[in-house]
Amino acid sequence: LFKHVHFKDNVDSTQIVAQRLVNEGAHTGTIVIANEQTLGRGRLGREWFSPPDTGIWMSIIVRPEIELREAPQLTLVTAVAVARAISNVTDLEVGIKWPNDILINGKKVVGILTEMQADPDRVNSVIIGIGINTNQEKFPNELKKIATSLSMEKGKKINRAELIIQILKEFEWLYDAYLTMGFQFIKPLWEARAVSIGKRVKAVTTKEVFYGMAIGIDDQGVLLLEDDDGKIHPVYSADINHTM
Ligand code: BTN
- Residue pair 33/6 in contact by the 8 Å Cβ criterion: yes
198 is in an annotated binding site: no
Pairwise CA distance, residues 237 & 244, whole Å: 22
pLDDT of residue 1: 85
Interface confidence (ipTM) of the complex: 0.99
Domain 200-242 CATH assignment equals 2.30.30.100? yes
- In the three-class reduction of DSSP (H, G, I as helix; E, B as strand; rest coil), residue 231 is classed as coil
The one-character DSSP state at 27 is P
CATH number of 5-193: 3.30.930.10
Q: Which of 170, 171, 161 is nearest to 53 (CA)?
A: 161
Q: What is the number of the ligand 1 atom nearest to the C-alpha of 108?
A: 3
- In the three-class reduction of DSSP (H, G, I as helix; E, B as strand; rest coil), residue 94 is classed as coil
43 is in an annotated binding site: yes
Residue 40 Cα to ligand 1 middle (Å): 6
Q: What is the number of the ligand 1 atom nearest to the C-alpha of 37?
A: 14
- Rounded to 5 degrees, φ, ψ at 18 are -65, -40
Stated pTM of the model: 0.94
CB contact set of 129 (below 8 Å; sequence gap of 6+): 13, 14, 15, 18, 41, 58, 59, 112, 113, 114, 115
- In the three-class reduction of DSSP (H, G, I as helix; E, B as strand; rest coil), residue 129 is classed as strand
- Residue pair 1/29 in contact by the 8 Å Cβ criterion: yes
Among 97, 130, 241, residue to substitute to test ligand 1 (most atoms within 8 Å of Cβ)? 130
Paired strand residues for 36? 10
pLDDT of residue 244: 55
Domain boundaries, the chain: 5-193, 200-242
Among 15, 101, 136, 163, residue to substitute to test ligand 1 (most atoms within 8 Å of Cβ)? 15
The one-character DSSP state at 99 is T
Q: Could you tell me if the CB of 111 is within 6 A of ligand 1? A: yes
Regions in the chain scoring below 50 on pLDDT: none
